[in-house]
Amino acid sequence: MNVLVVNCGSSSLKYQLLDMTTETELAKGLFEKIGDQDAIFTHKRPNADKLERVEPILNHKEALRILLDILVDAEYGVIKSMDEIDAVGHRVVHGGEKFADSVLITPAVMDALEECCALAPLHNPPNIQGIEACQAIMPNVPQVGVFDTAFHQTMPKEAYMYALPYEYYEDYGIRRYGFHGTSHKYVAQRCAELMGKHMSDLRIITCHLGNGSSVSAIKGGRSIDTTMGFTPLSGLIMGTRTGDIDPAIVPFLMNKTGMNYDEVDTIMNKKSGVLGISGVSNDFRV
């Protein structure tokens, strides 16, 4: 059984084609700078030279078309036809409170993902575009959504509620959701495996450390708390993100600098963190 795994970012697309019968990687790759004239496409196969191209790629649908063409290409491909892809798995950043597990994508699921766009405006729209593109190109292949937020749906109310008027939670869904759930779940399971113990017997702290970072508390295999909150901006200091700050800093900066909300949001998400403190780079190696 071959499964294509797709991760659509705001201007990127990562993929892997996996043979799940043997649990081996057949191919993987990355599209960067989607929407630009000089987008970068990298395609790798085990024990073979890497393919890298720079070309105009205007949207995620076009990137997926290039991806599917390369998988069956006579020189660089790894399968003979699209019929050899049995399912497509999509990483979706925000499933809100609606999804506590991976689900087969249906029209109702797509409607729910659209509703979650307000909670993840940078991430969910490209995730949806990727799903729609795959549905158009492979209409008879099952599509599955895997949610960053799903694993954290086991958090108790005292962990996920904010001390705001309760109607904001009821009306707008303002609460701690947590992210990187697929990573935290895998790391916890792998930890238990290496220890030779069952997940139900363990209390584990998992750390997802990269340009975006979060830490989770996992008890008996269930997430009970995590550092990211309503959005992926909160928690630890990250590559370009502030992590937790006094919320009064936002109106203070707006008053002092004349910046509007969108400008302050850009500062907090893209110009802060390790980059902001160092003034040099978001990369620890630099």
Q: String of b and e for 181-214 (b: at least 16 CB within 10 Å)?
A: bbbbbebbeebbeeeeeebeeeebebebeeebbb
| Token representation of residue 200 | 């139900």
| Token representation of residue 268 | 């907090």
Q: Which candidate, 276, 138, 153, places its Cα nearest to that of 226?
A: 153
| Token representation of residue 71 | 């998988």
Give the catalytic positions in this structure. 148
> Cβ(96)–Cβ(112) under 8 Å?
yes
Q: How far apart are CA 206 and CA 112, in angstroms?
A: 29
Secondary structure letter of residue 50 according to DSSP: P
Q: How far apart are CA 87 and CA 105, in angstroms?
A: 11
Q: How far apart are CA 23 and CA 224, in angstroms?
A: 30
Phi/psi of residue 133, nearest 5 degrees: -65, -45
Task: Write out the H or E segment, with its range, that includes residue 134.
Answer: helix 124-137
Phi/psi of residue 144, nearest 5 degrees: -125, 135
Altogether, the residues listed in the chain come to a count of 286
Q: Which residues pair with 147 in a beta bridge?
A: 92
